[in-house]
Amino acid sequence: VVPVMQPVQKEQKDLQSCKSIISELEVHEDAWPFLLPVNTRQFPTYKKIIKKPMDLSAIKKKLDDNLYKTREEYCEDLRLMFNNCETFNEDDSPVGKAGHNLRSFFETKWNEHFPPT
């Protein structure tokens, strides 16, 4: 008999995928701008321009603290991080290019783990 996937196991699978994806992002060559919060002393206008800062360390901590109710909430934070990057950086800047590259890598991983139906 085909075992019916309990919702609990489904969420556990999602959590494992989200942890696996962020681990791959953290070691990506283009992750360097996103590993830690943007330094607001180095970039004094950042806090005024970017209303909701987000970075990989913050997302990793939220995962570990079990603060994401769904994989969609996790995905939202990653897209927020990449959108913040586009707001604050020129596309052809080193940080801007890294952001586009890492976003593309993330969306590919996302679709691998969670194929659109």
Ligand X SMILES: Cn1cc(C(=O)NCCN)ccc1=O
Name the site residues for ligand X (rule: CB under 6 A): 33-34, 38, 43, 85, 88-89, 95
Q: How far apart are CA 88 and CA 13, in angstroms?
A: 34
Q: Which residue in this structure is represented by tokens 């060559």?
A: 29
- Nearest approach in angstroms of CB 10 to ligand X is 33
| Closest to ligand X by CB, 21 or 98 | 98
- Rounded to a whole number of angstroms, the minimum distance from the CB of residue 46 to ligand X is 7
Q: Cα(94)–Cα(59) distance, rounded to whole angstroms?
A: 23
Question: Which stretches within the chain are classed as H helix?
Answer: 7-26, 46-49, 56-64, 71-88, 94-113
Residue facing ligand X at closest CB distance: 33
Select 18 or 38, whichever has its Cβ closest to ligand X: 38
